[in-house]
């Protein structure tokens, strides 16, 4: 196919506005996938994605579309992107491989926080943005209001935007016609140019090894070519090339504008980095394509196997998962209480949960995660600067000069009736008000400077519950700022429980200390002896409580009821036991490690 008949585009949207459903409809419409093979949200291949109804990994699909307007057949490469704030790195990678983006806005909701963030990313990549209004079948849909919002907030003309319903299959063909008409084709290739292809995804396949997904910008690549990955210098023979429809279909050659995959016997994870440029050894490009922005982990936590014998399995699993998820970061950690494990860096809390779940499901591991922490900059009296991502490692006050914590710019989009309650939330979390703008008559955008550490706890859940689900948020790292921060230690049965340490602002330490010991009292099972639970700053105990002795009898609740219910309860308790770690004589559950997130 000549480049003038290729269109490479992404779909961007706020979560739940209908990206995946539109992608499904487009695949059906173009007969890319036969109706009988269609499953809802086909591009969301991971079980976890289907269950949660969110897109985590980006996926691509190639479609053929014959335009009724000019009778020509086009190749449309669709790259689905995740919409959640934690995965904006994945979004930016896929956008760099496209010329255009289909912007989906829910006509019953309007512009939300991630709509705006994704549009910024698309504009940074010089993409043509094609807005569409989805869910027009809903009674609450208000296309005029939302089109006006798109114009006012995003500065895009939405007067001609297709009004569609992915659910009812309305307007899907118009979307494809708009993509052909508005998204620019790839640049016309120059004869004899050396190959340059941008890797925007790579993953580990048990049978083929590393599979690299890329977009060809210049030159061509053939099966049998010797390729070089320009940043690492690694060289491989191309064993298989193909396109995703979305199942892998092998081809012999890929040319400028094409999106495809490559299998080249790549074994080492580090050799196939996302953002690298592929060229040919025999006809090498001078300069690599501009890479992607490096993903910077925002949140860290400790990951430990409950069964210490499985440390090596966890290491192998992390190594493989990192290939599939370039934004995952990890390094070994040893803790006297927890044994051998890893300190892992994530883009946010959802990312952290997803990684833990994938490790447990895909690699059959049983893990304990410690409460998340941001990265602190600790300046020592002697002038050294330490980065601390594990609260237990915060040096004692004596040697410290000052501590700085990361601040983010936070945007909250909300119907105006929740403004008061959300302002209260932001203030409680040490947010500094910047301003408020009206998006429309009854929707506003609130902006704050706020410590990241206060946002990555349960802020998102609070936002959702205070706004009945209607508010959305987005944040971006801004700067490090000095603050009066302290380490809060927890002692159980007189022993310091390192993994339960947290760093908090001094003004909140007493409240958090109190809440933490009370919460732990609920979460730690009673033993045959009394257990003191204390919170302390340095040597000073600031809150304490005592767990009285007695074994909790789960069967007591059953009032002698039927035996199958009893069995079920016992089974449930046994399953709950798995994620436990012993502290001296006391067993602590996964839930207790997260206790600090549950205080309010």
Cβ proximity to Mg ion: between 74 and 200 the closer is 200
Cβ proximity to Mg ion: between 104 and 323 the closer is 104
Binding of residue 94 to ligand GDP (CB under 6 A): no
Q: Pick from 1, 39, 51, 53 the residue near ligand GDP by CB under 6 A.
A: 53
Give the nearest distance from C-beta 14 to ligand GDP in angstroms: 7
Q: Which two tokens stand for residue 50?
A: 């289907």
- Tell me which stretch binds ligand GDP (CB under 6 A): 135-143, 375-383, 387-395, 569-577: 135-143
* CA-angle at 202, arms to 88 and 28, nearest 5°: 75
| Alpha-carbon gap, residue 422 to 159, rounded angstroms | 32
* Polymer length in residues for the chain: 600
- Tell me which stretch binds Mg ion (CB under 5 A): 16-24, 204-212, 424-432, 531-539: 16-24
Written as one string, the DSSP assignment of 415-440 is EGGGHHHHHHHHHHTT-EEEEEEEEE
The crossing angle, in degrees rounded to 10, of helices 349-362 and 311-324 is: 120
283 among annotated binding-site residues: no
17 among annotated binding-site residues: yes
CA 182 from centroid of its chain's CA atoms: 30
Binding of residue 138 to ligand GDP (CB under 6 A): yes
| Contact partner, 15, from Mg ion, ligand GDP, none, Cβ < 5-8 Å per class | ligand GDP
Cβ proximity to ligand GDP: between 84 and 215 the closer is 84
| Alpha-carbon gap, residue 78 to 552, rounded angstroms | 55
**Secondary structure class of 185 (helix, strand, coil):** coil
Of 207, 191, 186, 107, nearest to 149 (Cα)? 107
Contact 72, 78 (CB under 8 A): no
Cβ proximity to Mg ion: between 20 and 114 the closer is 20
Of 347, 508, 514, nearest to 427 (Cα)? 508
Of 279, 295, 122, 120, nearest to 214 (Cα)? 279
Contact 436, 419 (CB under 8 A): yes
Segment 8-47, which members bind ligand GDP (CB under 6 A)? 13, 15-21, 41
Half-sphere exposure of 557 (CA within 13 A, CB side): 9
377 among annotated binding-site residues: no
Site mask for Mg ion (CB under 5 A), range 25-64, x = bound: ------------------------------x---------
| Contact partner, 16, from Mg ion, ligand GDP, none, Cβ < 5-8 Å per class | ligand GDP
Cβ proximity to Mg ion: between 59 and 329 the closer is 59
| Contact partner, 138, from ligand GDP, Mg ion, none, Cβ < 5-8 Å per class | ligand GDP
Give the nearest distance from C-beta 131 to ligand GDP in angstroms: 14
Give the nearest distance from C-beta 19 to Mg ion in angstroms: 5
Cβ proximity to ligand GDP: between 41 and 94 the closer is 41
224 among annotated binding-site residues: no
Q: In sequence order, which residues have a C-beta less than 8 Å from that of residue 408 and are 6 or more positions away?
A: 449, 450, 451, 452, 455, 475, 476, 477, 478
Run of H or E residues at 152: none
**Secondary structure class of 19 (helix, strand, coil):** helix
Cβ proximity to Mg ion: between 19 and 273 the closer is 19
Cβ proximity to ligand GDP: between 135 and 519 the closer is 135
Ranked by CB distance to Mg ion, the top (closest) residue is 20
| Alpha-carbon gap, residue 378 to 171, rounded angstroms | 56
Cβ proximity to ligand GDP: between 19 and 273 the closer is 19
282 among annotated binding-site residues: no
Segment 533-592, which members bind Mg ion (CB under 5 A)? none
Contact 536, 489 (CB under 8 A): yes
Segment 159-178, which members bind ligand GDP (CB under 6 A)? 165-167
CA 343 from centroid of its chain's CA atoms: 18
Handedness of CA 140, 141, 147, 149 (dihedral sign): positive
Give the nearest distance from C-beta 174 to ligand GDP in angstroms: 14
Site mask for ligand GDP (CB under 6 A), range 435-474, x = bound: ----------------------------------------
Binding site members for GTP: 13-20, 80-84, 134-137
Give contact residues for ligand GDP (rule: CB under 6 A): 13, 15-21, 41, 53, 55, 83, 134-135, 137-138, 165-167
Interface with Mg ion by CB under 5 A: which residues?
A: 19-20, 55
């Amino acid at each position: 196919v000549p480049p003038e008949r290729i269109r490479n585009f992404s779909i961007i949207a706020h979560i739940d506005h209908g990206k995946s459903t539109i992608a499904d409809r487009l695949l059906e419409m173009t007969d890319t996938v036969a109706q009988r093979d269609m499953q809802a949200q086909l591009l969301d291949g991971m079980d976890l994605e289907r269950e949660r109804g969110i897109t985590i990994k980006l996926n691509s699909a190639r479609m053929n579309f014959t335009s009724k307007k000019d009778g020509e057949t086009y190749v449309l490469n669709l790259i689905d992107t995740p919409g959640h704030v934690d995965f904006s790195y994945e979004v930016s990678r896929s956008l760099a491989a496209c010329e255009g983006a289909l912007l989906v806005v829910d006509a019953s909701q309007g512009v939300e926080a991630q709509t705006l963030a994704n549009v910024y990313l698309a504009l940074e990549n010089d993409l043509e943005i094609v807005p569409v209004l989805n869910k027009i079948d809903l009674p609450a849909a208000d296309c005029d209001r939302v089109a006006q919002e798109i114009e006012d907030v995003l500065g895009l003309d939405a007067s001609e935007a297709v009004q569609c319903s992915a659910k009812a299959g309305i307007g899907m063909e118009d979307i494809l016609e708009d993509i052909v008409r508005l998204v620019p084709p790839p640049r016309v290739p120059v004869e004899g140019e050396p190959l340059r292809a941008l890797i925007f995804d790579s993953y580990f396949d048990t049978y083929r090894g590393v599979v690299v997904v890329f977009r060809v910008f210049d030159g061509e690549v053939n099966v049998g070519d010797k390729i070089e990955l320009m940043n690492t210098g690694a060289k491989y023979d191309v064993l298989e090339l193909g396109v995703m429809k979305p199942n892998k279909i092998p081809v012999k050659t890929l040319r400028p504008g094409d999106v495809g995959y490559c299998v080249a016997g790549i074994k080492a994870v580090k050799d196939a980095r996302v953002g690298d440029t592929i060229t040919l050894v025999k006809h090498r490009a001078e300069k690599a394509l501009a890479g992607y922005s490096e993903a910077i982990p925002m949140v860290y936590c400790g990951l430990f196997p409950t069964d210490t014998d499985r440390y090596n399995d966890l290491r192998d699993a992390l190594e493989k998962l990192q290939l599939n998820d370039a934004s995952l970061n990890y390094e070994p950690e040893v803790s006297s209480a927890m044994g051998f494990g890893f300190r892992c860096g994530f883009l946010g809390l959802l990312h952290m949960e997803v990684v833990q779940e994938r490790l447990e499901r895909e690699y059959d591991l049983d893990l304990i995660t410690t409460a998340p922490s941001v990265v602190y900059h600790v300046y020592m009296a002697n002038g050294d600067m330490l980065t601390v991502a594990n609260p237990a490692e915060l040096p004692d006050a004596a040697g410290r000069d000052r501590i700085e914590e990361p601040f983010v710019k936070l945007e909250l989009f909300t119907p105006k009736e929740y403004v008061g309650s959300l302002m209260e939330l932001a203030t409680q979390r040490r947010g500094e008000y910047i301003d408020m703008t009206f998006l429309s008559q009854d929707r506003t955008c609130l902006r704050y400077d706020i410590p990241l550490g206060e946002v990555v706890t349960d802020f998102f859940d609070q936002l959702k519950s205070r706004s009945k689900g209607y508010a959305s948020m987005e944040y971006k790292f801004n700067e490090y700022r000095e603050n009066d921060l302290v380490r809060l230690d927890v002692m159980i049965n007189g022993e310091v429980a390192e993994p339960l340490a947290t760093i908090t602002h001094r003004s909140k330490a007493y409240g958090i200390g109190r809440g933490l010991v009370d919460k732990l009292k609920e979460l730690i099972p009673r033993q045959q002896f009394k257990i003191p639970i204390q919170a302390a700053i340095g040597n000073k105990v600031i809150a304490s409580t005592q767990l009285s002795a007695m074994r909790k009898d789960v069967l007591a609740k059953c009032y002698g009821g039927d035996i199958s219910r009893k069995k079920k309860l016992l089974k449930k308790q046994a399953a709950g036991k798995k994620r436990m770690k012993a502290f001296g004589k006391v067993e602590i559950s996964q839930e207790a490690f997260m206790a600090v997130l549950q205080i309010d």
